[in-house]
Amino acid sequence: MAVLDADLVHRWFDRLRRQDLSVIAFWDVRPTDQERAAVDEGGTAIGCAIRDLPAPAPVLALTETSALMLRDYLTGFAAGITEARRLLRVEPAVDLGSLADGVDPGASAIGALALAAGLNAAAAAMGGWSADRPSFGRDGPTAAESARAAGVTAAEVVVDGADLHRVAAHAAGTAVNGWRVGLPDDPAERADYRAKALVGTVLVALELECREPLPPAQPASCGALPGENRGAAFLAEITCTMHVADEVLPALIGELNRLCREVTLWPTDRSSSLHLHTDRPGEAIEQLYASGLPFDLAITRLG
């Protein structure tokens, strides 16, 4: 069973620093230098919180809104963990309210409780960035609303006795749900989108690191193990129809042009017919599903 300790925090933030594609590919938001600095600061602060040490003061002057939002989120995350651990360690009889209602704060529950507290404190720290905006817009919830919903979900499941992985999984699932993929044109919305994606990557990376190790995999008949593809690359022809919102279409076409040798689109009354030539069919199909739901999807070898 996963434990919220220094080793887990190290692996969690190492996955973020490596920009693991299993974490970031869905949003296609590659962190900037300032956003990476915010990740590093947050990893240090949360690592100190787990060891019951004070976090060092930030030393870098960040100017990017998304980086500042992420800094606030991770700083709040660390503060929430610190306070929860203090209450559970120094004042075990303290009333933690609904967060600990019905949960025995023993060794196995401390990590889950501290994580839920960290998620809610992180959401509160980010809340000021969207105080003058509605919680939901045309592209879905704001970054602050996604963070708030993740914290609420974590509190709900930890009350039911959820372990660390279940808390992390429910929080990550909530944070990444219900919003449209694709950078908005408006600068303020773009910064919020980046912050929302960065929060999502933080929580997805945590969920991945909290998973129990899988049993040893048995190779397929070709000898491949999970993640391996031993077949030969080929030039693929992909055809499908799909409805794509007008504001999402330029981003989709741009990504497909990056992945494909040829992109042909025929608009119709209700949907678009796409015809692609690519030697990266897997990535092209991922982009299609990230932007809508393809119908009549066919993949064949070209030539």
What does the pLDDT read at residue 96? 46
What does the pLDDT read at residue 152? 96
Residue 103 predicted with pLDDT over 80: no
Find the mean pLDDT for residues 273-282. Answer: 95
Q: Which residue type sits at 105?
A: P
Residues 31 and 164 in one domain: yes
Number of structural domains (the chain) is 2
Q: Domain boundary residue among 210, 245, 265?
A: 210
What does the pLDDT read at residue 149? 94
Q: Which two tokens stand for residue 291?
A: 């932007």
Structural domain that includes position 47: 6-210
Q: Encode pLDDT of 10-38 as tens digits.
A: 999 999 888 765 555 556 678 899 999 99
CA dist 155 and 292 (Å) reads 32
Q: Encode pLDDT of 60-95 as tens digits.
A: 899 999 999 999 999 999 999 999 988 877 655 444
Contact 167, 150 (CB under 8 A): no
What does the pLDDT read at residue 24? 59
Residues 83 and 175 in one domain: yes
Contact 179, 139 (CB under 8 A): yes
Residues 152 and 53 in one domain: yes
Residues 182 and 40 in one domain: yes
Of 208, 139, 135, residue with least CA distance to 171: 208
Residues 175 and 241 in one domain: no
In the structure, what pLDDT confidence band is assigned to residue 97 with cuts at 50, 70 and 90?
very low
Which region among 134-138, 183-187, 248-252 has the lowest average model confidence (pLDDT)?
A: 134-138
Sign of CA dihedral 208, 213, 219, 223: positive
Residues 199 and 124 in one domain: yes
Residues 268 and 180 in one domain: no
Q: Encode pLDDT of 216-229 as tens digits.
A: 889 999 999 888 88
Contact 62, 34 (CB under 8 A): yes
Q: 295 pairs with which residues across the strands?
A: 241
Quick check: is 262 in a domain?
A: yes
Residue 271 predicted with pLDDT over 70: yes
Quick check: is 227 in a domain?
A: no
Residues 247 and 139 in one domain: no
What does the pLDDT read at residue 187? 81
What does the pLDDT read at residue 134? 66
Residue 133 predicted with pLDDT over 70: no
Please give the distance of CA 160 from its chain centroid, rounded to a whole number. Answer: 24
Quick check: is 220 in a domain?
A: no
In the structure, what pLDDT confidence band is assigned to residue 184 with cuts at 50, 70 and 90?
confident
Q: Which two tokens stand for residue 274?
A: 């796409």
CA dist 303 and 291 (Å) reads 28
Residues 181 and 243 in one domain: no
**208: which residues sit within 8 A by CB, 6+ positions away?**
15, 20, 22, 23
Q: Report the CATH number at residue 253.
A: 3.30.70.3100
Quick check: is 57 in a domain?
A: yes
